[in-house]
Structures are given as structure tokens and as C-alpha cells.
Structure 1
């Protein structure tokens, strides 16, 4: 009994190890995955760059223009007309040469006397004709003498020559000229059963239909009267003529008739005609050459179109993919591809996308910070309110309970004020983006706000004084603007800013003080200032006062009476009007110390003047 190993040894094949048997399927699986990956990448490349929608459109439009151009060249070119004219001139020259040679080979027939019957009828009674008038010299065209000459002159030209006598009868036809040792070759009709293909018949019918409207149809006269050809009739009268005809197969045939003359006597007519399809073959060869140029141009245009589409479709696709990542991404910032080095629409689009994305991220960060600030500001009064509520049951005296109730009411008012200001700040951007700016007069707006503020104020509150400067021409000879304080904006929101600054100035000014508002025009900007007589702003706090929920109130003022959103909202409104708002201190020299001392704060608004162009 033999084992499997012994059988393998006898067969001459060594047994494979288990490791080799297991590695073979893995290698095959790896090669299959590699081929699939390569096919997927090739398909993605072709679908992205070569067969993308934009690439197809560019290629189709470019090729359509090239096809229209080539079609116009093939259909409307003057090559065929020029070729026909050149062929006519060539046949005329050739015919004159051959007619001269034939006329020179004609001999005089001296053994014949020809009598003109018309002259005999003109004789009167008793009159006779002189012998000289009875006889005339005749130069007949001898086919035996002319045939060899015609064969030598016609054979290299591949044209058909026919000679007609003065009566229009056919004397010689180059198709039937042959010499003794030559072998005749005739184009016989196809045998029965072999017909011209359908496409060939359709093409011939189409050519005949297209050309028959402009050209006469060619008919074979055979050995009959050659006067059915107009050019032969004209040549018999002594004038060369040419006619272009179309055959039954739609092929062009050019015929030229030249008179054969000797001593001004017309001995006959030489009719030269081209072979059917001769001119069409030349035109077809020219068109084939044009098509070759077209194919080369189309190939170059296809490659250039693909490359052009790649410079457009590739960046656009990368921008779209980046925008999709930005839309889906929530944990990290995704950068938009940078094409700022391109000075074209793609570069402009990339820069706009980057700016838009940065603006979106900044807005998201601002919303996140705003939410955090709101939560922080709301948490403080809620914590105080909860502590007071929890402590209220433990209060033993009416005084303690009254103090706790006062704290509760204060915190509730603070919460109400915070929620109102937060709601106003949160919908401010939406209102400014949805609203339509209108033309407004800042001077009239300031007058209305100042009057309303003085009417609402108590007697001890600082009064508001408005000063509007007259606008003078910037340069001598120029005319001052009719309405120097006009601008595009939202009057209600600008009035909110002015009221906020007035209330802020009054809160810092002492009793009996003054809040001064000034308006002036500096170039294309309207400058509005709001001054108070307060302690001013600490230098390190000038920028922080515009932050949300930041307050820097005078000592002794109740905490929580301000939400810290007034100046932040004011800056947001002014920036929406493409303006700026800044804060600074007013100073004047101190006569005692010799230094400059702070006399109050000043807020400066700079707004763009004028209507849109």
C-alpha cells in the first residue's frame, strides 16, 4: 500500500508546504484588489477630468465650431469653381493647339470642281461663269491622316476628342482610335445580378439632384448631328465655346469646342470633353486633405479642451468638495483650497470662498462666545435669586425678609433687562440684513433725538445741546453740497445709537452738567460727537467698554442697573452702516499743575455720506 507522499515522489512533484499553499490565494487576492483599485482610480480620473459634464460641454462647443467651419469650407469653397475655370482654359489652349495641327494636316483636293448652285441661279440669260469662279479649293479633313496625330496629342491628356465636319457629322472619336498592334479596351456594363450599391446610388442621385438645378444634363450624341451641342454650333460659326454639364451619375463634364480653320475657312470642329468624375476626383482629393487637417485640428482641440476644462473643472470640484467638508464638519476647521495666485474668475471665486468661510467661522465663534457670555451673565442673577429664595424661609425678622424681597425684585429686573437686551442684540444682524437702507438726513435725525431726550429728561438731568456745523466747499471755487448730511441707513437704529450714547453720557455727567452733540462733515464722512462732563474713561478700558456685558460704572452706582450691551450693540449698528465708533477722553490744561486733566469722555461716530451712485 503506497502513501500519498510516495505517489507524489514517484510523479516527480515535490509536495507543497502548508505555508506556500496558503500564501498563493493571498497573493491572488492582493493582485485582484490592486487591479480593482487601479480601475477605480482610472475611472475616477476619466469621470473627473475627461468625461465630466463641464469637459464634455467645452469639447462639444469647440468641436461644433470647428465642424461648422470645415463644413462651410467643404460646401461653400470656391475651389471647384476655380478648378472648372482652369480646366476650361486648359481645354481651350489644348483645343487650339490640336485644331492647328489638324488644319495643317489638311490637303488641297485639286481633282474636283465644285459648283456653287446659288451662283448659277443668280446668272442672267446669256451670262456664264468664269472657270475660276466655278472651281474652289477644298481642304477636307482626312481621318486617316488626322487619326494618328489626334491619338498622339490626346493620349497623355486623358480627355475625349471628337471631330465634326462643317455639317456637324462626326468624323473621328478618340474613344475609337487605335492602331494595328493595340488592344481595344471598352468599359462594358456590369453583368446581370451585379448592381451598384444602395449607398452609391443614393450618393449619385443626391449629386445629380444638387447639380441638375444649375447645370444642364449631358446627353450622348453618338454619330448623329453634333449641332445638338451648343458649343459645336458656336465653333462651326467660327467661335470657340465651352459648356459644363452633369452626367446621369452626378459627375461634372466640361466640354470645349474649337473651330478647325485654314485660310479662314472652317474645316470642322474639335470637341474636347473631360472624363466623367475627373473633376470630382480632384475635388474629392482636396476634401480628403481638408478632412485630414480637420482630424488633426480636432485632436489638438480635444486635447486642449480637456486641459482647459481641467484647469476649470478641477479647481471648481476641489472648491465644491471643500465646501461640502465645511458643511459636514463640526469638530475642526476645514481650509478652502488657495487659488489666489490665479488672476481669473477661479482665483476670484476661491478668494470669495475663503473669505466667506472665514466669515462663517468668525460668525460661529462670535455666536459661541455670545452664548457663553449670555449663559454667564444670566447665571449671576439666577444664582443670587436662588440664594435669596432659599434664604427667605429662614429669615426670622421682617427686616430680613424685606431685604431679601428687595434682592429678589432687583434680580428679576436685572434678568428682564438682560433678556431684553440679549434679544435685541441677537436679532439685530437679521434685521439689518433683511431691511432696506433708505436715504436719511443725519442733521434732522439728531435734532429729533435731542428734542425728544430733553423732553423726557427730569429737571435735574443734564441737558442735551446740539451743534451742527455749516459745510463749506473743500476747495475754492467748488460748490458746497446741497444736503451734506444725507446718507444711506436705518434711521431707527441710528436713533437707538444716539439715544444710547446720550443715556450713557447722562449717567456719567454730574447734576447740572451738559451733554453736547456735534455734527460736522469731513470729506466723504459725517462726523458725530457726543461729549459728557464725567470722569472720563480709564486708558486701559477704552477698547473694553465696547465688549459685550462689560460695564465700568462710577463708584456708588447700583450694580446690575446696566446689562453692558449698549455700547456693543451701538458698535454693531455703526459697523453695519460701514462706519466706525471710537471713544476718547477730553482734556484741557490744568492751570495749577500745568498738566492736562480729563474733563470728560467723547464718543466719535464716523459715517459714510452721500447717496449710492
Structure 2
């Protein structure tokens, strides 16, 4: 026989999906990490964007330098000028050493003195060396930075290049890194008359820029006046190292805090994933095992069942659903076996009657055999109808939405119907129930079937001209309906078995095969499907003698 190439995977043979594969980083973990990391990352980015704080530091630096420049200008105007024709004249020979002495306590500061025409008169960085040579002192080198500080500064500069930058009020900014590092201030030479005029009037805007070697330079200009007469301009330039140092410290602190927060966030995210994603994957694996027929006694891990959170609720519900499913499968298997057994009896009788009918020629015997075949056919038809009704009950109740139903009118209608068709020798039905107000949640057609079945069952067991009492009343959160007869009662050992399928306990004298044994089973299916209960017990007199049977139905109030 040729090989037809059947798949070797059991899941492929059954058409079931393969169990979910475990991933090192699940989509849920990625979402948890993203949601947990995003807020501290945004906070760190916002705190690294410290323009407002930097502006405050620069404003304080500018104000301090303006005060210092005014002091220098006042000292030079008083000590390095002379009166000539009632006009103050600047004396460069006196101004140069005085300017150097004033700037000496500030190593990172350079001062220049311009006269009223814009020419440089004195420079604190220019000194007279040996032999009258002019020596220009080099700038102090930038403070060395470690690899970490360079990395932080580089990352910060890249970040700021992507963000919008606001302008600093009252500050002129130059961010050209290609400017030479020795040119510490804008040109105030004679070719720039407007800036010269503004400087003599004290209206030059402070000037801030960063050089190619990373220096942050601040320049301010203040006029030197003697009386009300301007004698020159003091241009003061300083490297704002403290501003950069404080900003770096804050950035490093922010990044350190962010690093700690990141580690804690990742650890908490993995912990959260272990308590959420991993149990969900275990539940998915359990569901896949159940789908493939494994875990009949329960494949959900016990640890998940013991949890008191939503995962535990889901695990217990999954376990309950699996057990209910297996119970339904077992019930269907037993039902199929019972149906086969119950149908086999009338079929065997029909087959035996047909075989006998072929061998005999007596017309009277043939008529009796044909009557047996007809009765068995009717019995099988009734049995098949009841089996079909029983199999439809669960499906119908699962599809139909329960609505408020008042059972009092149903009971009254059944009692009136019996009264209208009652023969003199038939039992009497006594109803003790209010006209309305016994509202339950259910399906009206199925409730009618339950009460009609119980009432018919009680009438069939009651003696001639006996009484069947039907009582209905509210009982807390339930509505209780009791059906009592005056029959022989129910064997004590059979009080629970009478609700099983195909079980029949009929009165003596009744012909065999008139009932399928599914009536009470269908009643229990309907009542329990509506979240109610049904039970049977015997009625007894004062001496303890059985005087009838009692069926009690309880349904939840709507």
C-alpha cells in the first residue's frame, strides 16, 4: 500500500494548533519595559535640558562681571586720568599697570581698556618683558576632563542639537566654534562707531560664546567716567568655568539617578513579567494540553491555582471549565451508551417478532405479533423524541437569554387545563399560590415543561379521586414550588436515582414501555441550567408511614 505522507506531528494530525513557544523576551515583557522606562527617560531628558538653570547661572555671572567692570572703570577713571583744559584725559602709562593689578586676583579673567576713539590702551594679558619686549600671556588651558565627563558632554550636546533652543534675554550669543580662542570679545575698534557709542553710554549687550576648545566665555563692557565725562571703555572677559562645572555635576547626578531608576525599573519589569507573562504562558500551555486530550484530572499548575490575584481566578476558572468539559464529554458518552442500550431492547423485540412472524401461519398469532411490532415502533418513536428533547435542552439554555418569568400564571393555567379535561375518577389538583408575584429568571417554555412533567408524574401515581397539591411561595432569594401526590412514594434508595436518564419507576398495573425514563432527567437539566435545584422526598404521616411523594423546585428570584 503506498505511503500517503501523513504528518508525524500529533497536533497536525488532529488539526490542533501547536502549543505556544516560550520566548526569552515576550511581547508583554517588551510592553512592560517600554511603559516603565519611558517616564524616567522623559524625566531625565527634561532635566538634562537645563537651559533655564544655565541662563540663571549666566545671568548671575554677567551681573557679577558688570559690578567688577564698574569697579575697574571707576578706579581707572580716578587714578589713571588727568585734567587738561577742563577735560579728563586718560593716561595709558598709569592705566596699564593699574589694570594688571586689578585683574591679578582673577586668573581666568582678561581686561582691556579702550580710549574714546576705540583704540586699545591697555590689556591685562600684555606685559612688558626684559629689554622692553612686549609679551602676551597665553590663556590658561581648559581643565582636563575624564572619559566619563567627555561622554556625558558629548551626549548632552547631541541631545541639545535635536531640541529647540530659546534665546537668553539681554545676552548676545555666538556659538561659532571656529572663532579663534584668543579673540575673547567682539571688535570695538574705530571702524564700529555705533558699538563704540553704545559702549561709551553703557549700552553694550553682554556677549557669550563658546570657543573651539570648549571654553564658555562671557564679556561685558562698562564706560570709565570721571564726573560726567567718559574717558574710556573697560572690556572684561571671563571664562565661566563654574557654570560648566555646576551644569556637569547636575547632569551627572541626573544620569546617575536615571541609571539607578533604569536598573530598578528593568528589575521590576522582569519581576512583573514573571508574575504576569510567565503564568499566562503556563495557562496557554495548559489550555493547549487540554485541547490535545491531556490533563483530564487538571493540567493547570497547582501554584497558579493557589494565587489570590486575577491570575489565580483565571487559573481556577480554566480548571473548572476543563473539568466541566470533561464531565460533559463523560455524560455524552454515557448518554450515547444508554441510548444504544434503550434502543436495542425494542429493536430486539421487533426483530424477534419478525423472525417469528415468518415461521407461523396462524392469523391470530400474526395479528398479535404485528401489534407487538407496532407498540415497539411507537415506543422507539417516543424514546427518540425524548432523547432529542433531552439533547437539545443544554444547547437551548446556553443560547437562550433568561428573562423574568412569573410562574404563578403558569401553575394556574396548568391547574385549569387539568380541571377542564378531568374525568370523575381522575385525581384532583389543588393550587396554593398567589395570582402573581413569583417572578424568576428563566425560559417560559422550558418552565412550562418542568411543571407539566412534575404534575403529570404526580397524577399518574395518585389513586383515583385522589389529590395532587401544588404550592408555590417566595423563599428568600428563591421561589419554591412543591408538588405533592398521594401515591405509593419513592423507594428510599432511589430518591436520587429517579433523576437519572432512562430510569423508570412506574405504578403497578401500568403497561411496560409507556414512558422513556427521561422526564425527570430533563426536568433536572432545565432547573439546574437555570441555576436552580430540584429534589424529591417522601411524605409521611404522624406514624411515619409513607403517604405520597413530594418534589421541590427552587429557582432564583429575578
Q: Same fold (TM over 0.5)?
A: yes
Is 1:223 aligned to 2:194, yes or no? Answer: no
Question: Alignment partner of 1:496: what SS?
Answer: helix
Aligned residue runs from structure 1 range 336-375, under 5 A: 336-338=300-302, 339-375=304-340
For residues 366 and 209 of structure 1, the distance between their equivalents in structure 2, rounded to whole angstroms, comes to 72
In the other structure, the counterpart of 1:8 is none
Q: How does 1:316-355 map to 2 (within 5 A)?
A: 316-329=280-293, 333-338=297-302, 339-355=304-320
Q: What's the CA shift for 1:394?
A: 2.7
Is residue 2:333 matched to residue 1:381?
no
Aligned to 2:447: 494
**Distance in 2 (alpha carbons) for counterparts of 1:69 and 1:173:** 46
Distance 1:244 1:286 in 2: 25
Distance 2:370 2:103 in 1: 137
**CA displacement, residues 283-307 of structure 1 (integer Å, 9 cap, x when unaligned):** 4564355334434433442333233
Residue by residue, what CA displacement relative to the aligned partner does 1:173-216 show, whole Å, maximum 9, x if unpaired?
344457559664479xxxxxxxxxxx99x979959984569654
Q: Which residue in the other structure is 2:18 paired with?
A: none
The 1:551–1:230 alpha-carbon spacing in structure 2 relative to 1, beyond 3 Å, is: farther
Number of the residue aligned with 1:64:
38
* Counterpart contact for 2:189–2:196, Cα < 8 Å: no
2:374 to 409, 417, 429: 409
Aligned to 2:545: 597
Provide the TM-score with structure 1 as the length reference: 0.72
Once the two structures are TM-superposed, the CA of residue 91 in structure 1 deviates from its matched residue by: 2.6
In structure 1, how many angstroms separate the alpha carbons of the residues matched to 2:515 and 2:358? 30
Residue 243 (structure 1) aligned with residue 206 (structure 2): yes
Summarize the Cα distance change of 1:572–1:519 in structure 2 as closer, same or farther, 3 Å threshold.
same
Say if 1:565 and 1:363 are closer, same or farther in 2 by CA, change over 3 A: same
CA distance in 2, matches of 1:229, 1:208: 36
Q: What is the CA distance between 1:61 and its match in structure 2?
A: 2.5
- Structure 2 vs 1, CA of residues 282 and 168 (structure 1 numbering), >3 Å: closer, same or farther? farther
- How far the C-alpha of 1:531 sits from its partner, in A, is 1.3
- Cα 1:223–1:276 change in 2 (3 A) is farther
**Quick one: distance in 2 between partners of 1:546 and 1:204?**
78
Query: Secondary structure of the residue that 2:539 maps to in structure 1?
Result: strand
Cα displacement (A) at 1:485: 1.4
1:305 aligns with 2:284: no
Cα distance in 1 for partners of 2:295, 2:545 equals 52
Kept in 2, the 8 Å contact 1:235–1:259? The answer is yes
Write out per-residue CA displacement over residues 327-363 of structure 1, whole angstroms, 9 at most, x where no aligned residue: 1126955512231332322222111111111111111
Displacement, 1:144?
Answer: 3.1
5+ residue gaps, structure 1: 1-46, 117-136, 188-198, 471-482, 590-594
Q: Which has the larger radius of gyration?
A: 1
Can you list the C-alpha shifts for 1:207-237, whole angstroms capped at 9, x where unaligned?
998456965455712434687279845548x
Superposed CA deviations along residues 447-476 of structure 1, whole A, max 9, x for unmatched, are: 222222333444432232222148xxxxxx
Using the alignment, how far apart are the partners of 1:331 and 1:50 within structure 2? 26
Q: 1:460 is paired with a residue of what secondary structure?
A: coil
User: What is the alpha-carbon distance in structure 1 between the residues aligned to residue 367 and residue 452 of structure 2?
Assistant: 35
The one of 173, 196, 204 aligned to 2:123: 173
- Structure 1 pair 499/541, CA: closer, same or farther in 2 (3 Å)? same
Following the alignment from structure 1 to structure 2, what is the Cα–Cα distance between the partners of residues 205 and 70?
Answer: 13
Higher relative contact order (CA 8 A, sep 6+): 2
Instruction: Please tell me whether the aligned partners of residues 102 and 149 of structure 1 are also in contact (alpha carbons under 8 angstroms).
Output: no
Deviation at 1:496, TM superposition (A): 0.2
Q: Secondary structure at the match of 2:269?
A: helix
Q: Does 1:503 align with 2:456?
A: yes
Q: Deviations over 1:566-609 (max 9, x none)?
A: 011101111111111111222222xxxxx232221111111111
CA distance in 2, matches of 1:350, 1:301: 28
Structural mapping, 1:427-506, within 5 Å: 427-469=392-434, 484-506=437-459
CA-based RMSD: 3.8
Deviates more, 1:596-605 or 1:318-327: 596-605
Alignment of 1:124-203 (within 5 A): 142-155=94-107, 158-165=108-115, 170-176=120-126, 180=130, 184-185=137-138
Give the equivalent residue in structure 2 for 1:315.
279
After TM superposition, give the deviation of residue 265 of structure 1 in Å: 7.9
Say which is worse superposed, 520-529 or 140-149, in terms of deviation: 140-149
For the residue of structure 2 that corresponds to 1:596, the secondary structure is coil
Residues 159 and 385 from structure 1, CA distance in 2 versus in 1: closer, same or farther, beyond 3 angstroms?
A: farther
**Alignment partner of 1:115 out of 78, 86, 89:** 86
